[in-house]
Amino acid sequence: MHQVAPDRSWPLFDVAATRRIEQAAQAALPPFTLMQRAGLATARLALAIAPHARRIWIACGPGNNGGDGLEAATHLAAWGKEAVVTLAGDPAALPADAKRAWERLRQAGLDLAPAPPHDCDLCIDALLGIGAARPLQGGLAAAAQAMAGVGRPVLAIDVPSGLHADTGAGLAVRATHTLALLTLKPGLFTAGGRDAAGQVWFDDLEVPAGPEAPCALLAGPPLAQPRLHASHKGSYGDVAVIGGAPGMAGAALLAASAALHAGAGRVYLAPLDPAAARLAPGLPELMLRDWSSLPLPSLAVACGCGGGTAVADVLPQVLPQAASLVLDADALNAVAAQADLQALLRARSQRSLPTVLTPHPLEAARLLGTSTPAVQADRLAAAQALAARYACVVVLKGSGTVIAAPGQPPAINPTGSARLATGGTGDVLAGWIAALLAHGLPAFEAGQAAVFRHGQLADRWPAGEPLVAGALAARAGG
């Protein structure tokens, strides 16, 4: 059993692949072996989470997830805990493995409680696992509600009940801990998954994934980019930030500051507000230029940040010429609205010019011609659809940022938190990615590395210190 921490990458498997892995293992092992292992692992983790717990409520559901709970309850009772077991369903209708777990529970002298306990030290959520097919209703919904009311730690078996394991969508039990079994599922790490799952643990039940390919990866820390002694500023590439229409100069400045602090050799700032050129940017390292004088074919360009509608006039030049390109915010809205810009964007891949789009869910919805809820309902699919449609790397921002590229499994970023939900942090990310592109990292790696470090910086931000985008930019790459 391992705690899933952002110190390495992990393969993620969808429900269909998990079912195939489970079936192959069931065929090779004596019946009931997997559920025994699952129940024992659950009971052990329960003990580790709440070593002094006296009363533990195990809320079981009608399928094999409930069977895991029944098996765990038998162990916990044998170890001297008061196991209060409820079952939202009919024991006679349990599937074969869960029925066997039920019989073992009865043989151990335990029975079902008629209702949840008024108080307990730990709840085990064994209502639904990967079989969750529709929103929780009836006895399952009542048990989930009671669990929320108890106010004690909740250990979810496999997935928090109600959560869609592939997508992280769905109204789910809010667990403090989740023990994923057999495989790690992508839904635990994006959309509502991070809030529902709490701290994630993984037990492979001694079953290797075999020939199954992961549907996605949970990203690990990027490799360090050492700066050689025998190098100079030209070794780290040049970034230009184009954005900052009237009233929004700050967005471009944040991106430029992030690019500078993330290690770009030189950074040009090209504000689209002519008046902004007269503002002292506070960063003497930046080189102020008019965008039309930039040597685009030798630059990593971050375009959009606060660009307003003015950025649409720049894109016909930037899209075909920039050596590498990050499109953010208003640049994405312009592309979504103009078919000619979309054609120029797609053409970049034919010339192998690296391109990264960094939409938040609303921008992604505009680019896909759909709605924000539709994007959030399946973030992995949305990011992959965007990458395929525009033939480039896509960073779909938000909790569990997804990084996708055509023809390869996407990555989900494990770092970051709602402390980043403050104006300008997306501009910082755009500039940071541009700095890594300027350094020569391939687009997917640049997106993944910058997103990981950006989130990690937020995770490590001192608790009492407000996180604002300017300060984040100043610590980019640090």
Ligand X SMILES: Nc1ncnc2c1ncn2[C@@H]1O[C@H](COP(=O)(O)OP(=O)(O)O)[C@@H](O)[C@H]1O
Positions touching ligand NAX (CB under 6 A) are 22, 34-35, 38, 61-66, 68, 95, 97, 128-137, 140, 157-158, 181-182
| Interface with ligand X: number of residues (CB under 6 A) | 17
Question: For ligand X, which residue of 360, 366, 439, 453 counts as binding (CB under 6 A)?
Answer: 360
Cβ neighbours around 16 below 10 Å, total? 12
Question: For K ion, which residue of 71, 125, 273, 427 counts as binding (CB under 5 A)?
Answer: 125
Query: 426 touches which of ligand X, K ion, ligand NAX, none (CB within 5 to 8 A by kind)?
Result: ligand X
Tokens 């709840």 belong to which residue?
123
* CA–CA dist 291, 94 (Å, integer): 67
95 is in an annotated binding site: no
Tokens 């395929």 belong to which residue?
388
54 is in an annotated binding site: no
Which is closer to ligand NAX, CB of 43 or CB of 441? 43
251 is in an annotated binding site: yes
User: Hey, what are 451's tokens?
Assistant: 């997103």
Which is closer to ligand X, CB of 331 or CB of 429? 429
* CA–CA dist 330, 312 (Å, integer): 8
* CA–CA dist 435, 441 (Å, integer): 9
Query: 125 touches which of ligand X, ligand NAX, K ion, none (CB within 5 to 8 A by kind)?
Result: K ion
424: contact with ligand X by CB under 6 A: yes
Identify which range of 87-95, 121-129, 266-274, 465-473 contacts K ion by CB under 5 A: 121-129
Question: For ligand X, which residue of 31, 210, 297, 423 counts as binding (CB under 6 A)?
Answer: 423
* CA–CA dist 386, 369 (Å, integer): 10
Query: 63 touches which of K ion, ligand NAX, ligand X, none (CB within 5 to 8 A by kind)?
Result: ligand NAX
Q: What is the distance in angstroms between the CA of the first residue and the CA of the last residue of the chain?
A: 33
Q: Which amino acid is at 300?
A: A
399 is in an annotated binding site: yes
397 is in an annotated binding site: yes
Query: 83 touches which of K ion, ligand X, ligand NAX, none (CB within 5 to 8 A by kind)?
Result: none
H helix runs in 325-440, sequence order: 329-337, 339-350, 361-368, 372-377, 379-390, 425-438
343: contact with ligand X by CB under 6 A: no
The total number of residues shown for the chain amounts to 478
Q: Which residue is nearest to ligand X (CB)?
A: 426
Beta carbon of residue 200, minimum distance to ligand NAX (angstroms, whole number): 14
Complete edge-to-edge strand list for the sheet that includes strand 266-271 = 10-12, 216-218, 411-412, 402-404, 393-396, 355-357, 324-327, 300-303, 238-243, 266-271, 287-288
71: contact with K ion by CB under 5 A: no
- DSSP string for 210-254: TTPPPSEEE--PPPP-PPPSS--GGGG-EEEEEE--TT-HHHHHH
Query: 425 touches which of ligand X, ligand NAX, K ion, none (CB within 5 to 8 A by kind)?
Result: ligand X
89 is in an annotated binding site: no
Output the CA–CA distances (angstroms, integers) from residue 331 to 40, 186, 319, 367, in the order listed. Answer: 53, 30, 10, 11
Q: Compute φ and ψ for 236, nearest 5 degrees.
A: -110, 0
Distance of CA 458 to the CA centre of its chain: 15
Query: 215 touches which of K ion, ligand X, ligand NAX, none (CB within 5 to 8 A by kind)?
Result: none
Which is closer to ligand NAX, CB of 68 or CB of 238? 68
- Using CB under 6 A as the criterion, what x/- string covers residues 208-247 for binding ligand X? ----------------------------------------
161: contact with K ion by CB under 5 A: yes
Nearest to 185 by CA among 422, 436, 380: 380
Q: How big, in percent rounded to 5, are the helix, strand and coil portions of the chain? A: 45, 15, 40
SS3 state at 192: coil
Beta carbon of residue 69, minimum distance to K ion (angstroms, whole number): 8
Beta carbon of residue 363, minimum distance to ligand X (angstroms, whole number): 8
401: contact with ligand X by CB under 6 A: yes
User: Hey, what are 205's tokens?
Assistant: 């039940």
330: contact with ligand X by CB under 6 A: no
Cβ neighbours around 251 below 10 Å, total? 30
User: Hey, what are 409's tokens?
Assistant: 């499994």
68: contact with K ion by CB under 5 A: no
130 is in an annotated binding site: yes
Residue ranges for the known binding site for (6S)-NADPHX are: 64-68, 129-135, 158, 251, 304, 360, 427
What are the residues binding ligand X (CB under 6 A)? 329, 360, 397-399, 401, 416-418, 420-421, 423-427, 429
What are the residues binding K ion (CB under 5 A)? 125, 156-157, 161
